[in-house]
Amino acid sequence: MTIWNLGSINADVVYSVPHIPAPGETLASTARQSFLGGKGANMSVAAARAAAQVRHIGAVGSDGRELVQRLLEYGVDTRNIAEIDTESAQAIILVDTHGENAIVLHPGANHEIPQAVLQSALAEAETGDWLVMQNETNLQRTAAEMGRKMGLKVAYAAAPFSVNRVEAVLGYLDFLILNAVEAEQLQTATGKTPAELPVTDVIVTLGSEGADWYGPNGKLHFDAIKVDPVDTTGAGDTFTGYLLACLDRTQPMAQAIKTATKAAALMVTRHGTADVIPDLLEVQDFRP
């Protein structure tokens, strides 16, 4: 089957810093690198490297042609990425010596994806395909509604978090993934625990503590793999992309979570975003 990803595409500029700066503080970076990024692009690359067929739906400006070419080189189908008359999205990422990060995002073309591009893409989708979205683009509710009507399996990664945006798509979802803080915020807004949400499968990621899966058989916990992190940027996206790729290959959820956990653990030992996401052979050979 195919994973259709309505997703962001960013030019990421990553600065290594001694610590995340306080308000008013000026720091000199110790290194600067540029990467393909954006939660959407990261997930597409992760799923493609996990051997899934991935069709990315998005937009860039004329300054983003290299980003599209890099997606293509990583095995992502880019035929549904529009080039529009605005600048591509950019992210400034600060990473400290413990691997923690702070990010400033300029959304650019990610918030101006033409609806005609979405409609043209999903016209080729087939019942049983996956549709995944994150909160870095426009057209999320439109896509979720279309996907549900077409018999697609609809997945949503609720980051960057917005209660209103999650609630707008909640009724169309088969799969929801969010972190512990986001789960708490959603519970405060809806009055529902993850187990009570009207979604078949909900995963709450817990960072170094692993993840909880709320599914048909209740709550199951999965431990994280202990590694020495150097950069946590993109780890959650890698987890999600791998998880969906495994599910697309009809792996049971528990097995998919374990594979995705290995991919995320390997990812945090590397500096960068989409360009350094491990491929399936690396994940299978990984022995922490």
The single residue of 77, 201, 237, 275 carrying the catalytic annotation is 237
Residue range 27-66, pLDDT digits in tens: 999 999 998 999 999 999 999 999 999 999 999 999 999 9
Q: Residue 219 and residue 253: Cα distance in Å, rounded?
A: 12
**Does residue 4 surpass a pLDDT of 90?**
yes
Question: 271 pLDDT band (50/70/90 cuts)?
Answer: confident
Binding residues for K(+): 231, 233, 267, 270, 272
d(CA 207, CA 179): 8
Query: Binding site membership for ATP: which residues?
Result: 179, 205-210, 236-237
pLDDT attached to residue 101: 85
pLDDT at 39: 94
pLDDT at 193: 96
Is residue 52 a contact partner of residue 29, using CB atoms and an 8 Å limit? no
Q: What is the mean pLDDT of residues 232-258?
A: 95
Report the CATH architecture of 3-9+38-88+114-285. 3-Layer(aba) Sandwich (3.40)
pLDDT at residue number 100: 84
**Contact residues for 281 (Cβ-Cβ < 8 A; gap 6+):** none
Catalytic site includes residue 129: no
Mean pLDDT over all residues of the chain? Answer: 95
Sorted by where each begins, the domain ranges of the chain are 3-9+38-88+114-285
pLDDT exceeds 90 at position 98: no
- In one-letter notation, the amino acid at residue 102 is A
